[in-house]
Amino acid sequence: VGQAALEAALEKKKYKLVTFTHVDTSTGVLSDAKTIGETIKRVSPETLVILDGVCSVASEEIRQEEWRIDVVLSATQKGLGTPPGLSVVSASQQAIQTFENRKTPVTSYYASWKRWLPIMRAYEAGQPMYFATPPVNLIYAFHASLTAITKRAPSLAERFALHKEQSARLRKATKEIGLKTVAKEGAFQANGMTAIYYPEGLAASDILPRLAGKGIVVAGGLHKDCKDKYFRVGHMGISVVDKSRGDIDRVISALKETTAEAKKAKGLSNGLPNGQFSEPALITETSTA
């Protein structure tokens, strides 16, 4: 859906809310949250803008107020670098107001704002208040992650830049190895994960176990139309922020070796003359700048 189609739809009918996914976890496609948020609020200020940021928060830039996004939903286990188990929600005053004005009761028990908002307000006022036992250990872990992200180096802005840089590096290397990404080049490519098609003639069973054997764990495809045709590489949080770990180098190197080995095993050409295989090599910073 382009900007014009979005404007036309909003002009035709009044929508209570519009939701969209910032990064599609199944394909690594990035949407233009800034344009979507600003367009919706310009045409229809009453409409709430809700962003699913599960696969983007802390890896992709989000300027919630500036971009006019009312609700950002996320989870702790991706860019935020905390074990899974917590939902993360950031809401605008307009969203909270809309919630408080609603007449139909919320049917969810545990996930209702009606139950959590008083707890949060009591907390901010320094008052004790109880609704349910929270997952305390996860909250401590989340606090540690947030402290690292917001109070230490690299800064949030530097993190976004690092995600872009490392994502571009992985894409460049992918191309050099002769592989294609699912998301179109450039602005549509997420910076925290990359979906890569298996080489022609090869499948998950040729690639994934070989990568695992080199210590690289990637995920299979998810999108229903082509889930057997590609795999997904996560590169978010510590794997791009702490360069000393060399995670991206190792992924690129293992991908190169694996592709060559798998092609050889299947008797496929590696695209090099005389059946030669290029030597796996660590791609350095300078070579991909």
For residue 153, state whether it binds a copy of itself (rule: CB under 8 A). Answer: no
Residue 193: CB partners within 8 Å, gap ≥ 6?
A: 23, 25, 28, 55, 232, 233, 234, 235, 236
Give the residue among 203, 185, 207, 205 at the shortest CA–CA distance from 194: 185
Do 83 and 65 form a contact (C-beta atoms < 8 A)?
no
For residue 118, state whether it binds a copy of itself (rule: CB under 8 A). Answer: no
For residue 224, state whether it binds a copy of itself (rule: CB under 8 A). Answer: no
- For residue 57, the minimal CB distance to a copy of itself (Å) is 14
Q: Considering the complex, state which of residue 35 and residue 87 has its C-beta at the smaller distance from a copy of itself.
A: 87
Do 79 and 58 form a contact (C-beta atoms < 8 A)?
yes
DSSP 57: B
H-helix or E-strand containing 20? strand 17-21
Q: Considering the complex, state which of residue 83 and residue 213 has its C-beta at the smaller distance from a copy of itself.
A: 83
For residue 204, state whether it binds a copy of itself (rule: CB under 8 A). Answer: no
Which of 12, 65, 110, 289 touches a copy of itself by CB under 8 A?
A: 110
Which of 5, 13, 45, 84 touches a copy of itself by CB under 8 A?
A: 84
Give the residue among 204, 200, 198, 194 at the shortest CA–CA distance from 171: 194
- For residue 74, the minimal CB distance to a copy of itself (Å) is 12
Which of 109, 152, 200, 289 touches a copy of itself by CB under 8 A?
A: 109
- For residue 186, the minimal CB distance to a copy of itself (Å) is 29
Binding mask 44-83 for a copy of itself (x = CB under 8 A): -------------------------------x-x-----x
- Total of chain residues touching a copy of itself, rule CB under 8 A: 16
Q: What's phi and psi for 277, nearest 5 deg?
A: -115, 135
For residue 127, state whether it binds a copy of itself (rule: CB under 8 A). Answer: no
Specify whether the backbone of 121 is left (phi greater than 0), alpha (psi in -120 to 50) or beta: alpha
- For residue 84, the minimal CB distance to a copy of itself (Å) is 5
- For residue 131, the minimal CB distance to a copy of itself (Å) is 13
Q: Identify any residues that bridge with 88 across adjacent strands, giving them in sequence order.
A: 74
Do 60 and 192 form a contact (C-beta atoms < 8 A)?
yes
For residue 136, state whether it binds a copy of itself (rule: CB under 8 A). Answer: yes
- For residue 75, the minimal CB distance to a copy of itself (Å) is 7
What CA–CA distances, in Å, run from 157 to 57, 63, 204, 272? 13, 11, 36, 41
For residue 104, state whether it binds a copy of itself (rule: CB under 8 A). Answer: no
Q: Considering the complex, state which of residue 118 and residue 134 has its C-beta at the smaller distance from a copy of itself.
A: 134
Q: Identify any residues that bridge with 181 across adjacent strands, giving them in sequence order.
A: 196
H-helix or E-strand containing 180? none
For residue 268, state whether it binds a copy of itself (rule: CB under 8 A). Answer: no
For residue 125, state whether it binds a copy of itself (rule: CB under 8 A). Answer: no
Q: Considering the complex, state which of residue 76 and residue 181 has its C-beta at the smaller distance from a copy of itself.
A: 76
Rounded CA-CA distance 99/106 in Å is 9
Binding site for a copy of itself (CB under 8 A): 75, 77, 83-85, 107-111, 133-138
